[in-house]
Amino acid sequence: MAQLLQTWDNTHFFQGTDDPRIATEIDAVKSEIASLVTGCEPFGDRIATAEILAPEQFAALIAEIKAIHLQRNSIVERLSNVHTFISSTLSVNAKDPDANIWLPTLQQIWATLTQAMTPVDVFLVRVSDAFVTALLADPALEELSFSVIHSRRLKDQLLSVDEEKIITGLAVTGLHGWGNLYDKLAGSLQCTINGESVGLAKAANLLGSDQRTTREAAWRGINQAWSGSQETVAMILNAINGWRLEETQQRGRIRTLHYLDKSCHQSRIERSTLDALMDSTYRHRAVGQRAMQAMAKALDLPKLAPWDVMAPPPVVGEAAAISFEAAIDLIAQAFSRLTPAMGDFAVMMAQKGWIDATPTPHRTTGAYCTKFANPREPRIFLTYEGTMGNVMTLAHELGHAWHNWVMIDLPVMKTRYSMTLAETASIFAETLVREALMQQAQDPAQQLEIAWQNAESAVSLLLNIPARFEFETRLVEARKTGFVIADQLSAMMHDSWAYWFEESLSEYDEMFWASKLHFSISQLGFYNYPYLFGYLFSLGIYAQRSKYGNQFNEVYTNLLRDTGSMTAEAVVQKHLGQDIRQSTFWEDSLKIVEQSIAQFEALVEQRQRSLTLV
Ligand SMILES: [Zn+2]
């Protein structure tokens, strides 16, 4: 394959972060919002009588809401374009001076937009069912169906317009200030590893080193660094969770809401689904533990330590780096087995320069998929250095991008899916690539390298993610009764790890509450279980291939297209005829993981035998 672009070209949006058109665009958006406020405000006074509106009043109000909706869509589109441009620039160069000034401005404008819309949002929750039916019958407003109906499920949790506005306004510097503090801290902490001072991002990469001493030094260095700031992180976690509990209490004047109910509402799943998912996984925790034992065996260790869980597979000699072109080619071939269009899409992403992968000096860590709103173009960010892990990350993000791509003709409001369903598309794409690689593998050594990825996923998703869930549940419960000090947080993390990992680790990661940024995300709690959901859910879908034969891609594509306008339960019922509130659905997926771990164990055994023979 010819050489591909590995650097974004976003110049058809703006020339650079110093492009004067950014300021012009932001000014235009601000005045649009000001005019939106004028249109929305009267709805504040209509809330009190919303439930008893006479049908003859409907038409005029629907016309007003339609104008507001169209204006809002246009604002969101323009603001998203600027925001994606600025945040993309910051990913590639965290030190870009203009982008660093624009970002907080943009966050402020988003909050202003939410505040502007509040009277209408509250009105639409309070109004009668008859009004909503009339409203959604309008073709221009039909795209609001899911979001309006879903919001109305929390009708009794809503506060007055003024109270809602106060919460949104105060949260910018209050609640989210704590999240920003964590990010600042993580960006400034230095770890001492083997006498050398390095930032956290670099230290995190060293956890994947093939040298055990380096991994241990990195793990200890990271924990040492966080220990020095543990009082600060304890303040952050207490503030964020205290804020959420207080807000939940304020909203619970009519009906008390459990903190997991709120998370499930955001994830668009029912509590019974979450319970079935977590209970089934707990019953099968031995699968993840077996993966750990086999990994330990392959690494000649009696047990894995926390610094070994990201160790690369043992290879004879140096593993050859995979070029970016080869990675795209490999992924495209794997995707094409589902449908050629998906393979062509992966190549197109790279040809158009929609993937930024080249290591740059002031690059942020991690990988993600984002998009521009107009024209709708996906973008992928990752740092590609030629490892098999990098190839899988690229496949994962291309899965997200494909999800966006198959929805490209849908109205924007119908393309907003929850995290649970987002992670389904990405992990499905990873599965396609792993399966293809496994079939192409020339010998057991290569098979082991690929099966290693399956084992690492099982450990991460069946044990680590649930341990995070366990910790967060304990944290929220403890925060109800008062401030939770750092030592208590460490003890809680210890117990959560013990609950899931049991005897499979030589020690537990007690500082994980501080070192894992996910607990300090101010926007939403219980950030982690959607990954477990996506993992098992995508395996469950993947397992249906033989049942649907040639129809499978159509079924899968239609399922993806509905993710923005249905709950997870409804999507699965409609497209696969299954009930995810039942353990059976999850058990079937766990059986697939169990099979891949059994295969991994056999490959490890085979390797050990061949080593003893030599
Ligand atoms: Zn993802």
- 3 pLDDT above the threshold of 80: no
Q: What is the mean pLDDT of the chain?
A: 92
Q: Identify whether 140 is part of a domain.
A: yes
Q: Tell how far the Cα of 398 is from the centroid of ligand 1, in angstroms.
A: 9
Q: Identify whether 184 is part of a domain.
A: no
pLDDT tens for 388-404 read 888 999 999 999 999 99
**Amino acid type, 562:** D
Three-state DSSP at 362 gives: coil
Q: Identify whether 614 is part of a domain.
A: no
- 317 pLDDT above the threshold of 60: no
Q: What is the mean pLDDT of residues 23-29?
A: 97
Q: Tell how far the Cα of 394 is from the centroid of ligand 1, in angstroms.
A: 10
Q: Tell how far the Cα of 370 is from the centroid of ligand 1, in angstroms.
A: 11
Q: Which residues contact 445 (CB under 8 A, 6 or more apart)?
A: 315, 316, 607
pLDDT confidence of residue 385: 85
Q: Identify whether 50 is part of a domain.
A: yes
Q: Tell how far the Cα of 403 is from the centroid of ligand 1, in angstroms.
A: 11
What is the residue-wise DSSP string for 241-274?
HHHHHHHHHHHTTSS---HHHHHHHHHT--HHHH
Three-state DSSP at 443 gives: coil
DSSP letter at 460 equals I
Q: Tell how far the Cα of 231 is from the centroid of ligand 1, in angstroms.
A: 31
**Amino acid type, 72:** R
Distance (Å) of CA 506 to CA 215, 217, 338, 509: 15, 16, 41, 10
| Separation CA 296–CA 292 (nearest Å) | 6
Q: Tell how far the Cα of 161 is from the centroid of ligand 1, in angstroms.
A: 35
A 10 A CB-CB count for 211 gives 11
Number of independent structural domains in the chain: 1
The rounded percent of the chain whose pLDDT value lies above 70 is 99
Domain of residue 38, residue span: 20-173
Q: Tell how far the Cα of 518 is from the centroid of ligand 1, in angstroms.
A: 14
Backbone phi and psi for residue 53, each to the nearest 5 degrees, phi listed first? -60, 140
Q: Tell how far the Cα of 60 is from the centroid of ligand 1, in angstroms.
A: 43
- 19 pLDDT above the threshold of 70: yes
Q: Tell how far the Cα of 585 is from the centroid of ligand 1, in angstroms.
A: 22
**Amino acid type, 458:** A
| Separation CA 140–CA 325 (nearest Å) | 43
Q: Tell how far the Cα of 534 is from the centroid of ligand 1, in angstroms.
A: 9
pLDDT tens for 150-193 read 999 988 888 888 898 899 889 988 998 898 889 888 878 889 99
pLDDT tens for 42-101 read 998 898 888 899 999 999 999 999 999 999 999 999 999 999 999 999 888 888 999 989
- 487 pLDDT above the threshold of 80: yes
Q: Identify whether 56 is part of a domain.
A: yes
Three-state DSSP at 135 gives: helix
Q: How confident is the model at residue 318 (pLDDT cuts 50, 70, 90)?
A: low
Look up the CATH number of the domain holding residue 28.
1.20.140.70
Q: How confident is the model at residue 219 (pLDDT cuts 50, 70, 90)?
A: very high
pLDDT tens for 555-584 read 999 999 999 999 999 999 999 999 999 999
Q: How confident is the model at residue 131 (pLDDT cuts 50, 70, 90)?
A: very high
Q: How confident is the model at residue 425 (pLDDT cuts 50, 70, 90)?
A: very high
Q: Tell how far the Cα of 159 is from the centroid of ligand 1, in angstroms.
A: 33
| Separation CA 109–CA 115 (nearest Å) | 10
117 CA to centre of own chain: 26
| Separation CA 161–CA 41 (nearest Å) | 10
Q: Tell how far the Cα of 426 is from the centroid of ligand 1, in angstroms.
A: 6
Structure tokens at 396: 């994962």
| Separation CA 457–CA 548 (nearest Å) | 27
pLDDT tens for 65-78 read 999 999 999 999 99
pLDDT confidence of residue 614: 60
Check residues 251 and 614 and name the one with the higher pLDDT. Answer: 251
3-state SS of 400-431 is HHHHHHCCCCCCHHHCCCCHHHHHHHHHHHHH
- 202 pLDDT above the threshold of 90: no
| Separation CA 499–CA 491 (nearest Å) | 12
| Separation CA 421–CA 399 (nearest Å) | 12
Asked if 68 and 182 count as a contact pair (C-beta separation under 8 A), the reply is no
Q: Identify whether 564 is part of a domain.
A: no
pTM of this structure: 0.88
- 29 pLDDT above the threshold of 90: yes
Q: Tell how far the Cα of 84 is from the centroid of ligand 1, in angstroms.
A: 17
| Separation CA 426–CA 32 (nearest Å) | 36
3-state SS of 527-573 is CCHHHHHHHHHHHHHHCCHHHHHHHHHHHHHHHHHCCCCCCHHHHHH
Q: How confident is the model at residue 21 (pLDDT cuts 50, 70, 90)?
A: very high
Q: Tell how far the Cα of 232 is from the centroid of ligand 1, in angstroms.
A: 29
Q: Tell how far the Cα of 460 is from the centroid of ligand 1, in angstroms.
A: 14
DSSP letter at 463 equals I
Q: Tell how far the Cα of 420 is from the centroid of ligand 1, in angstroms.
A: 10
Q: 304, 445, 470: which is closest to 388 by C-alpha?
A: 445
Q: Identify whether 37 is part of a domain.
A: yes
pLDDT tens for 266-303 read 999 999 999 999 999 999 999 999 999 999 999 999 99
Q: Tell how far the Cα of 400 is from the centroid of ligand 1, in angstroms.
A: 7
Q: Identify whether 282 is part of a domain.
A: no
Q: Tell how far the Cα of 294 is from the centroid of ligand 1, in angstroms.
A: 27
Q: Tell how far the Cα of 421 is from the centroid of ligand 1, in angstroms.
A: 10
Asked if 85 and 13 count as a contact pair (C-beta separation under 8 A), the reply is yes
From the number of C-beta atoms within 10 Å of its C-beta (0-12, 13-18, 19+), residue 599 rates as middle
Give me the torsion for CA of 340, 342, 343, 347, rounded to 10°: 130
| Separation CA 432–CA 346 (nearest Å) | 13
Q: How confident is the model at residue 499 (pLDDT cuts 50, 70, 90)?
A: very high
DSSP letter at 505 equals B
| Separation CA 135–CA 61 (nearest Å) | 9
DSSP letter at 503 equals G
Q: Which strand (E) or helix (H) includes residue 196?
A: strand 196-199
- 350 pLDDT above the threshold of 80: yes
pLDDT confidence of residue 2: 65
pLDDT confidence of residue 51: 87
Q: Tell how far the Cα of 116 is from the centroid of ligand 1, in angstroms.
A: 31
Distance (Å) of CA 212 to CA 309, 316, 458, 540: 11, 16, 21, 35
pLDDT confidence of residue 4: 81
Q: How confident is the model at residue 41 (pLDDT cuts 50, 70, 90)?
A: very high
